[in-house]
């Protein structure tokens, strides 16, 4: 099994700012932890982070064209704005899980809407970076 683990804007800043919300682990630490866990499970992972909406769409499409089996996505703030990412996930029809480190439903009003949720088979939120492994 091969999965795309896709992270959106500013998630490369993990561990650098706002540790009270997003924890102390850096993006590099997170990637290493995901890779080690996936190795144990015999899962091959493609780890991608981008601050650009179009690059995230390209990564979703590449997962489809390259025959990957599913997607784990933390779309960052594009969660709350991006019909393009919703359409990309619907378009490739790969099983996709939405992950949020924090629980956006308990934060500001504008974080309560997820455009992507409708296209995802599950949402994991508020579990810290452990949520990626779940």
Residues recognised as catalytic: 22, 100
Among 3, 11, 71, 94, binds ligand CA2 (CB under 6 A): 11
Which of positions 62-121 make contact with ligand CA2 (CB under 6 A)?
A: 74, 76-77, 79, 100-102, 104, 111
Task: Assess contact for 116 and 73: CB atoms under 8 A.
Answer: yes
- Compute the least distance from the CB of residue 16 to ligand CA2, in Å: 6
Q: Both tokens of residue 133? A: 């492994």
Computed over its alpha carbons, how large is the radius of gyration of the chain? 14
Written as one string, the DSSP assignment of 2-31 is EEEEEE-TTGGGTTTS-HHHH-S--HHHHH
Residues in touch with ligand CA2 (CB under 6 A) = 10-11, 13-14, 16-18, 22, 74, 76-77, 79, 100-102, 104, 111
């Amino acid at each position: 099994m091969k999965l795309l683990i896709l992270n959106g804007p500013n998630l490369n800043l993990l561990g650098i700012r706002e540790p009270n919300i997003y924890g102390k682990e850096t993006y590099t630490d997170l990637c290493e932890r995901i890779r080690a866990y996936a190795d144990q499970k015999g899962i091959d992972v493609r780890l991608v982070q981008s601050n650009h909406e179009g690059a995230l769409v390209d990564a979703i499409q590449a997962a489809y064209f390259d025959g990957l089996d599913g997607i784990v996505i933390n779309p960052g703030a594009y969660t709350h704005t991006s019909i393009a990412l919703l359409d990309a996930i619907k378009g490739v029809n790969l099983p996709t899980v939405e992950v949020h480190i924090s629980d956006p439903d308990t934060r500001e009003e504008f974080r309560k809407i997820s455009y992507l949720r409708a296209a995802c088979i599950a949402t994991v939120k508020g579990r810290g970076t452990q949520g990626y492994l779940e």
